[in-house]
Amino acid sequence: MAILHHYAFCPHSRFVRLTMGEMGLEPEISEERPWAREEGFLRMNPSGTTPVFLENDIAIPGAGVIAEYLDETRGLGMNGRRLLPGDPAGRVEVRRLLEWFNSKFYDEVTGYLVTEKIIKRFSGEAPDAGAIRAARSNMRYHLRYIGFLCADRNWLAGDHMTYADLAAAAHLSCADYLGDVPWDEDELAKEWYARVKSRPAFRSLLADRVPGMTPPSHYADLDF
Amino acid sequence: MAILHHYAFCPHSRFVRLTMGEMGLEPEISEERPWAREEGFLRMNPSGTTPVFLENDIAIPGAGVIAEYLDETRGLGMNGRRLLPGDPAGRVEVRRLLEWFNSKFYDEVTGYLVTEKIIKRFSGEAPDAGAIRAARSNMRYHLRYIGFLCADRNWLAGDHMTYADLAAAAHLSCADYLGDVPWDEDELAKEWYARVKSRPAFRSLLADRVPGMTPPSHYADLDF
Protein backbone atom coordinates (compact mmCIF):
# COMPACT_ATOMS: atom_id res chain seq x y z
CA MET A 1 0.00 0.00 0.00
CA ALA A 2 1.33 3.42 -0.92
CA ILE A 3 1.17 6.20 1.69
CA LEU A 4 1.58 9.93 1.22
CA HIS A 5 2.86 11.64 4.36
CA HIS A 6 1.90 15.28 4.04
CA TYR A 7 0.84 18.43 5.84
CA ALA A 8 -2.35 20.08 4.55
CA PHE A 9 -0.86 23.59 4.34
CA CYS A 10 2.62 22.58 3.15
CA PRO A 11 2.74 23.84 -0.46
CA HIS A 12 5.05 21.02 -1.52
CA SER A 13 2.60 18.47 -0.11
CA ARG A 14 -0.23 20.20 -1.99
CA PHE A 15 1.76 19.94 -5.22
CA VAL A 16 2.09 16.18 -4.74
CA ARG A 17 -1.61 15.79 -3.89
CA LEU A 18 -2.53 17.67 -7.08
CA THR A 19 -0.12 15.55 -9.12
CA MET A 20 -1.51 12.32 -7.70
CA GLY A 21 -5.06 13.54 -8.33
CA GLU A 22 -4.22 14.26 -11.98
CA MET A 23 -2.66 10.81 -12.28
CA GLY A 24 -5.65 9.10 -10.69
CA LEU A 25 -3.60 7.82 -7.75
CA GLU A 26 -5.31 7.52 -4.39
CA PRO A 27 -2.65 6.67 -1.83
CA GLU A 28 -3.40 6.34 1.85
CA ILE A 29 -2.92 9.77 3.41
CA SER A 30 -1.07 10.39 6.68
CA GLU A 31 -1.05 13.89 8.17
CA GLU A 32 2.30 14.96 9.67
CA ARG A 33 3.14 17.97 11.80
CA PRO A 34 6.62 18.71 10.41
CA TRP A 35 7.37 21.16 13.23
CA ALA A 36 7.06 18.34 15.78
CA ARG A 37 10.16 16.54 14.37
CA GLU A 38 8.82 13.11 15.36
CA GLU A 39 11.39 10.33 15.41
CA GLY A 40 9.55 7.91 13.14
CA PHE A 41 9.15 10.58 10.50
CA LEU A 42 12.82 11.65 10.76
CA ARG A 43 13.91 8.04 10.25
CA MET A 44 11.90 7.98 7.02
CA ASN A 45 13.19 11.40 5.90
CA PRO A 46 16.25 12.71 7.78
CA SER A 47 15.61 16.24 6.51
CA GLY A 48 12.35 16.23 8.49
CA THR A 49 10.28 17.90 5.76
CA THR A 50 7.00 16.97 4.11
CA PRO A 51 5.96 15.43 1.76
CA VAL A 52 7.24 11.85 1.78
CA PHE A 53 5.69 9.21 -0.48
CA LEU A 54 6.20 5.66 0.71
CA GLU A 55 5.85 2.89 -1.86
CA ASN A 56 7.38 -0.60 -2.13
CA ASP A 57 9.45 0.14 0.99
CA ILE A 58 11.06 3.14 -0.73
CA ALA A 59 10.64 6.45 1.10
CA ILE A 60 10.59 9.15 -1.58
CA PRO A 61 11.10 12.58 0.00
CA GLY A 62 10.37 16.03 -1.39
CA ALA A 63 8.25 17.47 -4.18
CA GLY A 64 10.97 17.35 -6.85
CA VAL A 65 12.11 13.78 -6.18
CA ILE A 66 8.49 12.56 -6.00
CA ALA A 67 7.67 14.34 -9.29
CA GLU A 68 10.53 12.58 -11.09
CA TYR A 69 9.62 9.24 -9.52
CA LEU A 70 5.95 9.51 -10.49
CA ASP A 71 6.84 10.58 -14.03
CA GLU A 72 9.16 7.60 -14.40
CA THR A 73 6.76 5.07 -12.89
CA ARG A 74 3.35 6.47 -14.02
CA GLY A 75 3.92 9.27 -16.54
CA LEU A 76 3.82 7.19 -19.71
CA GLY A 77 0.44 5.74 -18.72
CA MET A 78 -1.28 9.12 -18.89
CA ASN A 79 -2.32 8.86 -22.56
CA GLY A 80 -0.27 11.84 -23.66
CA ARG A 81 -1.30 14.06 -20.72
CA ARG A 82 2.20 13.62 -19.28
CA LEU A 83 2.96 16.30 -16.70
CA LEU A 84 6.66 16.32 -17.64
CA PRO A 85 6.87 16.46 -21.45
CA GLY A 86 9.01 14.09 -23.50
CA ASP A 87 11.19 16.52 -25.47
CA PRO A 88 14.44 17.91 -23.97
CA ALA A 89 13.50 21.62 -24.26
CA GLY A 90 10.06 20.97 -22.76
CA ARG A 91 11.57 19.02 -19.87
CA VAL A 92 14.04 21.83 -19.16
CA GLU A 93 11.27 24.45 -19.09
CA VAL A 94 8.99 22.43 -16.81
CA ARG A 95 11.84 21.59 -14.44
CA ARG A 96 13.03 25.21 -14.45
CA LEU A 97 9.57 26.41 -13.38
CA LEU A 98 9.12 23.55 -10.92
CA GLU A 99 12.34 24.68 -9.25
CA TRP A 100 11.20 28.32 -9.51
CA PHE A 101 8.01 27.73 -7.57
CA ASN A 102 9.13 24.96 -5.21
CA SER A 103 12.37 26.73 -4.24
CA LYS A 104 12.45 30.42 -5.16
CA PHE A 105 8.76 31.24 -4.64
CA TYR A 106 8.77 29.16 -1.46
CA ASP A 107 11.92 30.86 -0.12
CA GLU A 108 10.63 34.33 -0.97
CA VAL A 109 6.90 34.03 -0.33
CA THR A 110 5.04 30.91 0.78
CA GLY A 111 7.66 29.62 3.20
CA TYR A 112 7.41 32.85 5.17
CA LEU A 113 3.61 33.05 5.02
CA VAL A 114 2.96 29.46 6.06
CA THR A 115 5.64 29.48 8.76
CA GLU A 116 4.72 32.83 10.29
CA LYS A 117 0.94 32.66 10.00
CA ILE A 118 0.12 28.95 10.36
CA ILE A 119 2.98 26.90 11.80
CA LYS A 120 3.80 29.41 14.54
CA ARG A 121 0.17 29.17 15.75
CA PHE A 122 0.95 25.59 16.68
CA SER A 123 4.60 25.85 17.70
CA GLY A 124 3.78 28.73 20.05
CA GLU A 125 6.32 31.20 18.61
CA ALA A 126 5.46 34.81 17.81
CA PRO A 127 5.03 35.57 14.10
CA ASP A 128 7.63 37.85 12.52
CA ALA A 129 5.78 40.81 10.96
CA GLY A 130 8.82 41.74 8.87
CA ALA A 131 8.89 38.32 7.22
CA ILE A 132 5.18 38.58 6.38
CA ARG A 133 5.70 42.04 4.86
CA ALA A 134 8.63 40.77 2.78
CA ALA A 135 6.52 37.84 1.54
CA ARG A 136 3.65 40.12 0.52
CA SER A 137 6.02 42.41 -1.33
CA ASN A 138 7.75 39.52 -3.12
CA MET A 139 4.37 38.01 -4.01
CA ARG A 140 3.63 40.89 -6.39
CA TYR A 141 6.55 40.25 -8.72
CA HIS A 142 5.91 36.52 -8.75
CA LEU A 143 2.27 37.15 -9.67
CA ARG A 144 3.42 39.43 -12.50
CA TYR A 145 5.83 36.70 -13.65
CA ILE A 146 2.92 34.23 -13.85
CA GLY A 147 0.93 36.81 -15.84
CA PHE A 148 3.94 37.36 -18.10
CA LEU A 149 4.19 33.60 -18.80
CA CYS A 150 0.43 33.38 -19.47
CA ALA A 151 0.56 36.27 -21.96
CA ASP A 152 1.76 34.01 -24.75
CA ARG A 153 1.25 30.51 -23.44
CA ASN A 154 -1.89 28.52 -22.62
CA TRP A 155 -0.28 27.12 -19.50
CA LEU A 156 2.82 28.21 -17.60
CA ALA A 157 5.30 26.01 -19.48
CA GLY A 158 3.57 25.91 -22.89
CA ASP A 159 0.57 24.40 -24.65
CA HIS A 160 -0.32 21.86 -22.00
CA MET A 161 -0.82 21.69 -18.26
CA THR A 162 2.34 20.40 -16.56
CA TYR A 163 4.02 20.07 -13.19
CA ALA A 164 4.80 23.79 -13.47
CA ASP A 165 1.11 24.74 -13.22
CA LEU A 166 0.47 22.33 -10.35
CA ALA A 167 3.45 23.65 -8.37
CA ALA A 168 2.57 27.31 -8.88
CA ALA A 169 -1.09 26.68 -8.01
CA ALA A 170 -0.21 24.61 -4.95
CA HIS A 171 1.88 27.46 -3.52
CA LEU A 172 -0.65 30.12 -4.46
CA SER A 173 -3.46 28.15 -2.84
CA CYS A 174 -1.68 28.31 0.53
CA ALA A 175 -1.15 32.06 0.22
CA ASP A 176 -4.73 32.49 -1.01
CA TYR A 177 -6.08 30.72 2.08
CA LEU A 178 -4.34 33.44 4.09
CA GLY A 179 -5.75 36.23 1.91
CA ASP A 180 -2.28 37.16 0.65
CA VAL A 181 -2.70 37.01 -3.14
CA PRO A 182 -3.56 40.40 -4.72
CA TRP A 183 -5.45 38.82 -7.62
CA ASP A 184 -6.73 42.14 -8.93
CA GLU A 185 -3.19 43.14 -9.85
CA ASP A 186 -2.93 40.58 -12.65
CA GLU A 187 -5.95 39.45 -14.67
CA LEU A 188 -3.99 36.86 -16.71
CA ALA A 189 -2.63 35.20 -13.59
CA LYS A 190 -6.10 35.21 -12.04
CA GLU A 191 -7.69 33.63 -15.12
CA TRP A 192 -4.99 30.95 -15.24
CA TYR A 193 -5.42 30.16 -11.52
CA ALA A 194 -9.21 29.86 -11.92
CA ARG A 195 -8.58 27.22 -14.61
CA VAL A 196 -6.22 25.18 -12.42
CA LYS A 197 -8.43 25.60 -9.37
CA SER A 198 -11.41 24.09 -11.18
CA ARG A 199 -9.60 20.77 -11.80
CA PRO A 200 -11.20 17.92 -9.82
CA ALA A 201 -7.81 17.24 -8.22
CA PHE A 202 -8.07 20.60 -6.46
CA ARG A 203 -11.27 19.82 -4.54
CA SER A 204 -9.78 18.10 -1.51
CA LEU A 205 -7.22 20.91 -1.04
CA LEU A 206 -9.93 23.56 -1.01
CA ALA A 207 -11.82 21.65 1.68
CA ASP A 208 -8.93 21.67 4.19
CA ARG A 209 -9.12 24.13 7.07
CA VAL A 210 -6.73 25.44 9.73
CA PRO A 211 -8.68 25.29 13.01
CA GLY A 212 -9.72 28.81 13.96
CA MET A 213 -8.67 30.41 10.64
CA THR A 214 -11.31 31.07 8.02
CA PRO A 215 -10.16 31.61 4.41
CA PRO A 216 -11.50 34.57 2.38
CA SER A 217 -14.85 33.91 0.66
CA HIS A 218 -13.27 33.65 -2.81
CA TYR A 219 -10.84 30.90 -1.69
CA ALA A 220 -12.98 27.91 -2.62
CA ASP A 221 -15.14 29.76 -5.18
CA LEU A 222 -14.32 28.26 -8.58
CA ASP A 223 -15.50 31.41 -10.39
CA PHE A 224 -13.79 33.90 -8.02
CA MET B 1 28.85 25.10 -29.33
CA ALA B 2 27.87 24.43 -25.73
CA ILE B 3 28.69 27.04 -23.08
CA LEU B 4 28.70 26.69 -19.31
CA HIS B 5 28.02 29.99 -17.54
CA HIS B 6 29.39 29.61 -14.04
CA TYR B 7 31.04 31.30 -11.10
CA ALA B 8 34.22 29.65 -9.81
CA PHE B 9 33.17 29.68 -6.13
CA CYS B 10 29.47 28.92 -6.68
CA PRO B 11 29.08 25.37 -5.30
CA HIS B 12 26.32 24.56 -7.81
CA SER B 13 28.59 25.62 -10.67
CA ARG B 14 31.36 23.44 -9.25
CA PHE B 15 28.98 20.47 -9.16
CA VAL B 16 28.25 20.92 -12.87
CA ARG B 17 31.94 21.29 -13.73
CA LEU B 18 32.70 18.05 -11.87
CA THR B 19 29.83 16.30 -13.63
CA MET B 20 30.97 17.48 -17.04
CA GLY B 21 34.52 16.44 -16.24
CA GLU B 22 33.35 12.93 -15.30
CA MET B 23 31.34 12.78 -18.55
CA GLY B 24 34.28 13.95 -20.64
CA LEU B 25 32.45 17.11 -21.76
CA GLU B 26 34.50 20.22 -22.38
CA PRO B 27 32.09 23.10 -22.96
CA GLU B 28 33.24 26.64 -23.51
CA ILE B 29 33.37 28.31 -20.08
CA SER B 30 32.02 31.78 -19.33
CA GLU B 31 32.61 33.31 -15.89
CA GLU B 32 29.63 35.23 -14.47
CA ARG B 33 29.43 37.49 -11.47
CA PRO B 34 25.94 36.55 -10.25
CA TRP B 35 25.83 39.48 -7.82
CA ALA B 36 26.09 41.94 -10.75
CA ARG B 37 22.64 40.89 -12.11
CA GLU B 38 23.64 41.66 -15.69
CA GLU B 39 20.78 41.98 -18.16
CA GLY B 40 22.03 39.47 -20.72
CA PHE B 41 22.44 36.83 -18.03
CA LEU B 42 19.00 37.56 -16.52
CA ARG B 43 17.41 37.13 -19.96
CA MET B 44 18.98 33.69 -20.17
CA ASN B 45 18.01 32.78 -16.58
CA PRO B 46 15.38 35.05 -14.97
CA SER B 47 16.29 33.76 -11.50
CA GLY B 48 19.76 35.32 -11.96
CA THR B 49 21.66 32.38 -10.48
CA THR B 50 24.59 30.31 -11.75
CA PRO B 51 25.14 27.84 -13.34
CA VAL B 52 23.44 27.97 -16.74
CA PHE B 53 24.34 25.49 -19.47
CA LEU B 54 23.55 26.69 -22.98
CA GLU B 55 23.24 24.05 -25.68
CA ASN B 56 21.27 23.92 -28.97
CA ASP B 57 19.69 27.27 -28.06
CA ILE B 58 18.29 25.82 -24.84
CA ALA B 59 19.32 27.63 -21.65
CA ILE B 60 19.38 25.02 -18.90
CA PRO B 61 19.49 26.69 -15.48
CA GLY B 62 20.48 25.27 -12.12
CA ALA B 63 22.42 22.27 -10.87
CA GLY B 64 19.41 19.94 -10.55
CA VAL B 65 17.92 20.71 -13.99
CA ILE B 66 21.35 20.41 -15.64
CA ALA B 67 21.98 17.08 -13.89
CA GLU B 68 18.72 15.62 -15.22
CA TYR B 69 19.40 17.02 -18.70
CA LEU B 70 22.92 15.59 -18.85
CA ASP B 71 21.76 12.22 -17.57
CA GLU B 72 19.05 12.08 -20.23
CA THR B 73 21.30 13.25 -23.07
CA ARG B 74 24.69 11.72 -22.07
CA GLY B 75 24.15 9.34 -19.15
CA LEU B 76 23.63 6.15 -21.13
CA GLY B 77 26.90 6.70 -23.00
CA MET B 78 28.99 6.37 -19.86
CA ASN B 79 29.54 2.60 -20.13
CA GLY B 80 27.75 1.79 -16.91
CA ARG B 81 29.38 4.60 -14.91
CA ARG B 82 26.07 6.47 -14.95
CA LEU B 83 25.96 9.17 -12.28
CA LEU B 84 22.20 8.69 -11.79
CA PRO B 85 21.56 4.94 -11.50
CA GLY B 86 18.90 3.15 -13.54
CA ASP B 87 16.81 1.50 -10.81
CA PRO B 88 13.96 3.41 -9.07
CA ALA B 89 15.31 3.05 -5.50
CA GLY B 90 18.81 4.10 -6.61
CA ARG B 91 17.43 7.12 -8.44
CA VAL B 92 15.45 8.18 -5.38
CA GLU B 93 18.49 7.95 -3.12
CA VAL B 94 20.77 9.89 -5.47
CA ARG B 95 18.15 12.59 -6.03
CA ARG B 96 17.42 12.77 -2.28
CA LEU B 97 21.10 13.43 -1.55
CA LEU B 98 21.49 15.77 -4.51
CA GLU B 99 18.66 17.85 -3.04
CA TRP B 100 20.20 17.49 0.43
CA PHE B 101 23.51 19.02 -0.61
CA ASN B 102 22.35 21.45 -3.28
CA SER B 103 19.51 22.84 -1.15
CA LYS B 104 19.77 21.99 2.54
CA PHE B 105 23.56 22.06 2.89
CA TYR B 106 23.67 25.19 0.72
CA ASP B 107 20.94 26.94 2.76
CA GLU B 108 22.53 25.99 6.07
CA VAL B 109 26.25 26.15 5.31
CA THR B 110 27.84 26.98 1.96
CA GLY B 111 25.39 29.68 0.91
CA TYR B 112 26.27 31.66 4.05
CA LEU B 113 30.02 31.04 3.77
CA VAL B 114 30.35 31.94 0.09
CA THR B 115 28.04 34.96 0.36
CA GLU B 116 29.54 36.40 3.53
CA LYS B 117 33.20 35.64 2.89
CA ILE B 118 33.59 35.86 -0.89
CA ILE B 119 30.69 37.61 -2.62
CA LYS B 120 30.52 40.46 -0.10
CA ARG B 121 34.21 41.19 -0.81
CA PHE B 122 33.11 42.17 -4.31
CA SER B 123 29.68 43.65 -3.62
CA GLY B 124 31.13 45.90 -0.93
CA GLU B 125 28.75 44.84 1.87
CA ALA B 126 29.96 44.00 5.36
CA PRO B 127 30.03 40.26 6.18
CA ASP B 128 27.55 39.06 8.81
CA ALA B 129 29.56 37.33 11.54
CA GLY B 130 26.43 35.64 12.91
CA ALA B 131 25.74 33.96 9.57
CA ILE B 132 29.32 32.68 9.41
CA ARG B 133 29.06 31.29 12.95
CA ALA B 134 25.76 29.57 12.10
CA ALA B 135 27.32 28.03 8.97
CA ARG B 136 30.30 26.69 10.93
CA SER B 137 28.04 25.19 13.54
CA ASN B 138 25.75 23.58 10.92
CA MET B 139 28.81 22.25 9.05
CA ARG B 140 29.59 19.86 11.88
CA TYR B 141 26.36 17.87 11.70
CA HIS B 142 26.52 17.73 7.90
CA LEU B 143 30.07 16.37 8.13
CA ARG B 144 28.87 13.75 10.61
CA TYR B 145 26.03 12.85 8.22
CA ILE B 146 28.57 12.25 5.44
CA GLY B 147 30.60 10.08 7.80
CA PHE B 148 27.43 8.21 8.77
CA LEU B 149 26.64 7.48 5.10
CA CYS B 150 30.23 6.35 4.45
CA ALA B 151 30.16 3.95 7.40
CA ASP B 152 28.36 1.28 5.40
CA ARG B 153 28.59 2.48 1.83
CA ASN B 154 31.54 2.87 -0.55
CA TRP B 155 30.15 6.15 -1.85
CA LEU B 156 27.46 8.43 -0.44
CA ALA B 157 24.52 6.83 -2.28
CA GLY B 158 25.79 3.24 -2.48
CA ASP B 159 28.35 1.10 -4.29
CA HIS B 160 29.24 3.59 -7.01
CA MET B 161 30.17 7.22 -7.34
CA THR B 162 27.09 9.28 -8.29
CA TYR B 163 25.81 12.84 -8.52
CA ALA B 164 25.47 12.71 -4.71
CA ASP B 165 29.25 12.50 -4.24
CA LEU B 166 29.93 15.24 -6.78
CA ALA B 167 27.40 17.59 -5.18
CA ALA B 168 28.66 17.05 -1.63
CA ALA B 169 32.29 17.43 -2.71
CA ALA B 170 31.53 20.56 -4.76
CA HIS B 171 30.01 22.28 -1.73
CA LEU B 172 32.72 21.06 0.64
CA SER B 173 35.43 22.30 -1.72
CA CYS B 174 34.10 25.87 -1.44
CA ALA B 175 34.00 25.68 2.36
CA ASP B 176 37.44 24.03 2.39
CA TYR B 177 38.92 26.90 0.38
CA LEU B 178 37.78 29.14 3.22
CA GLY B 179 39.26 26.85 5.88
CA ASP B 180 35.81 26.04 7.27
CA VAL B 181 35.74 22.23 7.20
CA PRO B 182 36.81 20.60 10.50
CA TRP B 183 38.12 17.47 8.78
CA ASP B 184 39.65 16.05 11.95
CA GLU B 185 36.17 15.60 13.40
CA ASP B 186 35.26 12.81 10.99
CA GLU B 187 37.83 10.42 9.57
CA LEU B 188 35.35 8.61 7.30
CA ALA B 189 34.17 11.85 5.70
CA LYS B 190 37.78 12.96 5.26
CA GLU B 191 38.80 9.68 3.60
CA TRP B 192 35.78 9.83 1.25
CA TYR B 193 36.56 13.47 0.30
CA ALA B 194 40.21 12.60 -0.45
CA ARG B 195 38.94 9.97 -2.90
CA VAL B 196 36.61 12.40 -4.71
CA LYS B 197 39.21 15.17 -4.66
CA SER B 198 41.75 12.98 -6.44
CA ARG B 199 39.48 12.54 -9.51
CA PRO B 200 40.95 14.25 -12.59
CA ALA B 201 37.70 16.27 -12.91
CA PHE B 202 38.60 18.03 -9.64
CA ARG B 203 41.88 19.53 -10.87
CA SER B 204 40.57 22.69 -12.48
CA LEU B 205 38.45 23.52 -9.40
CA LEU B 206 41.45 23.25 -7.11
CA ALA B 207 43.40 25.66 -9.31
CA ASP B 208 40.85 28.51 -9.01
CA ARG B 209 41.69 31.37 -6.68
CA VAL B 210 39.83 34.33 -5.17
CA PRO B 211 42.13 37.34 -5.66
CA GLY B 212 43.69 38.21 -2.32
CA MET B 213 42.46 35.07 -0.50
CA THR B 214 44.84 32.14 -0.08
CA PRO B 215 43.33 28.72 0.70
CA PRO B 216 44.76 26.58 3.53
CA SER B 217 47.76 24.46 2.54
CA HIS B 218 45.78 21.19 2.57
CA TYR B 219 43.18 22.57 0.09
CA ALA B 220 44.81 21.33 -3.10
CA ASP B 221 46.86 18.55 -1.45
CA LEU B 222 45.46 15.26 -2.74
CA ASP B 223 46.76 13.38 0.30
CA PHE B 224 45.63 16.02 2.85
- Spans of all domains in chain A: 3-81, 88-199
CB pairs under 8 A between A and B: 57
Mean pLDDT over residues B78-102, rounded? 95
pLDDT per position as a tens digit, A7-19:
999 999 999 999 9
Is the predicted pLDDT of residue B203 greater than 80, yes or no? yes
pLDDT per position as a tens digit, B109-157:
999 999 999 999 998 899 999 999 999 999 999 999 999 999 999 999 9
Average pLDDT of chain A to the nearest whole number: 96
**Cα(B98)–Cα(B67) distance, rounded to whole angstroms?**
9
ipTM tops 0.85: yes
CB-CB neighbors (< 8 A) of A91 in chain B: 68-69, 72
- SS3 sequence of chain A: CCEEEECCCCHHHHHHHHHHHHHCCCCEEEECCHHHCCHHHHHHCCCCCCCEEEECCEEEECHHHHHHHHHHHHHHHCCCCCCCCCCHHHHHHHHHHHHHHHHHHHHHHHHHHHHHHHHHHHHCCCCCHHHHHHHHHHHHHHHHHHHHHHHCCCECCECCCCHHHHHHHHHHHHHHHCCCCCHHHCHHHHHHHHHHHCCHHHHHHHHCCECCECCCCCCCCCCC
Scanning A160-219 for CB atoms below 8 A from B yields none
Average pLDDT of chain B to the nearest whole number: 96
User: Is pTM beyond 0.95 here?
Assistant: yes
Are residues B100 and A47, on separate chains, in Cβ contact within 8 Å? yes
Please check whether residue A40 touches B, CB under 8 A: no
What order of strands is seen across the sheet that includes strand A3-6? Answer: A28-31, A3-6, A52-55, A58-61
Please check whether residue A104 touches B, CB under 8 A: yes
Domain B3-81: which CATH number of 3.40.640.10, 3.40.50.720, 3.30.470.20, 3.40.30.10: 3.40.30.10
Q: Distance from B212 to chain A by nearest Cα, in Å? A: 32
> What's the confidence (pLDDT) of residue A36?
87
Does domain A88-199 sit in CATH 1.20.1050.10?
Answer: yes
CB-CB neighbors (< 8 A) of A58 in chain B: 88-89, 92
> What's the confidence (pLDDT) of residue B34?
84
- pLDDT band per the 50, 70, 90 thresholds, residue B39: very high
> What's the confidence (pLDDT) of residue B37?
87
Please check whether residue A64 touches B, CB under 8 A: yes
pLDDT per position as a tens digit, A75-118:
988 888 899 999 999 999 999 999 999 999 999 999 999 999 99
> What's the confidence (pLDDT) of residue B223?
78
Mean pLDDT over residues A200-218, rounded? 96
